[in-house]
Structure 1
Amino acid sequence: MDIKLIKAPSPATLDIIQNRSKLKFDKSPGAMGLVQGKMIEMTVACDIAYKTSGVEVSDVRGSCPQNMVMLAIVGDMEEVKVALRNIEEKSKEKDIW
């Protein structure tokens, strides 16, 4: 699984994410986390991130609407960092979350 953090995403980045997801931005979020991996990993990552208070999570469509390429996690910098850290830590565990 690949995980990246974007601090203060640019208008161009927000435009790409808006066009390929259900996220809509009235104002620029403090941070955006991007998670890419297997479908099963992204589904679990979505659950982990969603349970982190204050972040929004959406799939980012690939070449066709049925193809989920990655997740976008947006919110305040610290909330996104916590969500990404939780995803990294939980992805190493073998137990059910």
Structure 2
Amino acid sequence: MDIRLIKAPGENTLRIISERSKYKIENKPGAIGLVQGKLIEMISASDIAEKSVGVEVFDVRGSCPQNFVLLAIVGDMEEVKVALENIRAGGDLRNGNC
């Protein structure tokens, strides 16, 4: 899996993500986590992120509408960082959930 953290994303970054997903980012978030990998990894990563902290998780479409290429994890900086750390570790370390 590839994992990246975008701190204080810019307006064009938010526009690109909004245009490539069904999710419309209305308020500028503190951070966006991006996770890319196999479909099975993305579903697991989504579950881990949602159980970790109060972030929103959604998919960002690739070149074909049926491709599930990328997850975007949106929230405050610390919340997104915790979610990404938990994904890297393979489970929710802070809350004891998997």
Output the TM-score relative to the length of structure 1.
Answer: 0.90
Q: How many residues align?
A: 92
Deviates more, 1:19-28 or 1:31-40: 19-28
**Which residue of 1 is the match for residue 52 of structure 2?**
52
Output the TM-score relative to the length of structure 2.
Answer: 0.89
**Which residue of 2 is the match for residue 13 of structure 1?**
13
- TM-superposed deviation, 1:60: 0.5
**Structure 1: runs of 5 or more not aligned:** 92-96
Superposition pairs for residues 1-97 of structure 1, below 5 Å? 1-90=1-90, 97=98
Q: Name the % identity.
A: 68
Deviations 1:10-33 (A, max 9, x none): 100000110111221222100000
CA RMSD of aligned residues (A): 1.1
Letter of the aligned partner of 1:13 in structure 2? T
TM superposition outliers: structure 1 runs of 4+ over 4 Å:
none
**Structure 2: runs of 5 or more not aligned:** 92-97
